[in-house]
Amino acid sequence: MERKHNKQQKRHVRSGDTVEVIAGNHKGKQGKLVKVLTKKDRVLVEGVNMVKKHVKPSAQNPQGEIQEKEGSIHISNVKLVDPSTGKATRTGRKEDEKGKLQRYSKATGKFI
């Protein structure tokens, strides 16, 4: 009988990373990753793909308003920025000295 594992797939980016958009209308922009939406394979990048959201009037906000917030981008359209060089790089995984899998920059070979 085959077992089903509910393990999350590893991603090349995590929340808090600095990323660069490599495709779409915001190509070339860099920003901090706010959130990774794993089930939809999308990410929210700070200051990129801003959308307007209309909020209905309520007791706390009797006027209502138009809020501007980040829209999601597909995870394949962002690339991690290497902290040592400041340039976008491809990433891989390899074991460090302690035997733990770590992300590394394929351009420089250094651990991130």
- SS3 label, residue 16: coil
- pTM of the entire structure? 0.81
Cβ-based neighbours of 91, under 8 Å, separated by 6 or more: 12, 80, 103, 104, 105, 106, 112
18-105 carries CATH number 2.60.40.10: no
Domain ranges of the chain: 18-105
Distance of alpha carbon 30 from alpha carbon 6, whole angstroms: 32
Tell me: the pLDDT tens digits for 22-71? 999 999 999 999 999 999 999 999 999 999 999 999 999 999 999 999 99
